[in-house]
Amino acid sequence: MGCSLCAGTRVQLDFFSAQNDREIIPDAREFRPERWLPDAVAERVGTPAEVLDHPLLRGPFSAGARMCPGARVANLELLCLLTRVVQDWKFELEDKSIASIYDVPYKFGIVQQPVDPAPRLIVQPRAQDKCS
């Protein structure tokens, strides 16, 4: 692709920037789940936005022949765990001025992370239904 790297150069895939680049996706900050439907994916073929559909951006377990063999189990376990956590706990931000992820200043390290101090999250147990 016309790019050379010196031996020992560290390379990091930055998915956040590609998925939030307004030159690639003008409405990147809008919640539009329909952008992942098959028709929308087909419309991106041959455009700069096609990068969003690359297998390495679609899932956390790699792609192709070397894909994690436990990916399906891990995804199901994550779904079950997240469902249980959301059912049992209430989450809210202490800072009420934060309306979306874009209101949180961030920095890049090994992963994208909020700058210090990170927004404080208040976690409280939800009231449990009592069966008689």
Looking at residue 69, what is its pLDDT?
92
Give me the phi and psi of 121, to 5 degrees please. -105, 130
Q: What are the tens digits of pLDDT across the range 47-91?
A: 988 988 888 777 778 778 888 899 899 999 999 999 999 999 999
End-to-end Cα spacing for the chain: 67
pTM over 0.75: no
Looking at residue 54, what is its pLDDT?
84
